Amino acid sequence: MKILVCISNVPDTTTKITFTNDNTQFNTAGVTFIVNPYDEIALSRAIELCAGGKGTVTVINVGESATEPTIRKALAIGADDAVRIDAAPRDAYFTAFQIAEYAKEGNFDMILTGRESIDYNGAQVAAMVGGFLDIPSVSIIKKLDYDGTTATLEREIEGGKEVVTVTGKFVASCAEGVAAPTIPTMRGIMSARSKPLVVVAAQPIEEVIKVVQFETPPARGTVKLIPAEEAANLISLLHTEAKVI
């Protein structure tokens, strides 16, 4: 079995988000980049499915050379080898196209991503890869089992879940519940240095979107404190003042 896991290089979850160049660019100064937390979940499940010599896990990242520490981290977690498509990831459409182009040749049984990246929160790449390859995609899964030919997936829906089966190649985006993120071991970290990481040139594709401006949300007002003994007053305030109940 061959599994391809897509890895996004994202700002650490505690990063204070600021912008430069008249709010047109994300300010990377002093920011630590990490493996997108959802991608770690996808990667952990891929490693579990391949454990005991049942298969191999390749991680793929679309990014410039600065993303290599993130790719090495994925190798330390347990991926067998890595691919970097050498380009700044312009947007999800571009990224998905690059991944699909690479995957066309690789004969992967499944392609896994995280449910979304924590920077652009697009939740787009998995389904777009499915679209470019014209294979099924199942988005926001909570569970993934595979018997060698058929995958059984649980997909989140509003107020419940849906069980879906897919036979043949597919793409899925993973959310919490699919697997617990794996912590790299010292051995993993050591061996990551010598695992193969190939760099592939990007393919041209038309541009469909452009982020023209970032904005930060307006600061919220100050909190109105209600003494605990008068907690009941909250209800009337929510009714008469905030008008939300």
Partner 1 sequence: MSVLVYVEQVEGKFKKSVFEAVSYAKAIADKTGTSLTAVSIGNVADNELQELGKYGAAKVLNVASAELKNFVNQAYAAVIAEAAQKEGAEIVVLSNSFSGKGLAPRVAVKLKAGLVDGAIELPQLDGGKFLVKKGAFSGKAFAVTELVSANKVIALNPNAFGVKESAVTASIEAFSPAVQPTDLTAIVKEIVRATDKVSLPDAELVVSAGRGLKGPENWGMIEELAGLLGAATACSKPVSDADWRPHSEHVGQTGIAISPNLYIAIGISGAIQHLAGVSSSKVIVVINKDPEAPFFKVADYGIVGDAFEVVPKLIEALKAHQA
Binding site for ligand FAD (CB under 6 A): 13, 37
Given 4, 8, 11, 72, the residue binding partner 1 (CB under 8 A): 11
Integer angstrom CA distances of residue 55 from 19, 46, 111, 135, 180: 42, 9, 13, 21, 20
Termini Cα distance of the chain: 54
Q: How many residues bind partner 1 (CB under 8 A)?
A: 86
At 51, phi and psi to the nearest 5? -60, 150
Site membership for partner 1, residue 88 (CB under 8 A): no
Of the candidates 139, 143, 142, 146, the one whose C-alpha atom is nearest the C-alpha of residue 167 is 146
51: which 2 tokens? 């454990």
Binding mask 91-120 for partner 1 (x = CB under 8 A): -xx--x---------------------xxx
Binding mask 139-168 for partner 1 (x = CB under 8 A): xx-x---------x--xxxxxxxxxxxxxx
53: which 2 tokens? 């010599």
Distance of CA 235 to the CA centre of its chain: 40
d(CA 125, CA 135) in angstroms, rounded, equals 14
Smallest distance, Å, CB 183 to ligand FAD?
Answer: 12
201 versus 232: smaller Cβ distance to partner 1: 232
98 versus 113: smaller Cβ distance to ligand FAD: 113
What residues numbered 177-236 form the site for partner 1, per CB under 8 A?
Answer: 177, 206-217, 220-221, 223-228, 231-236
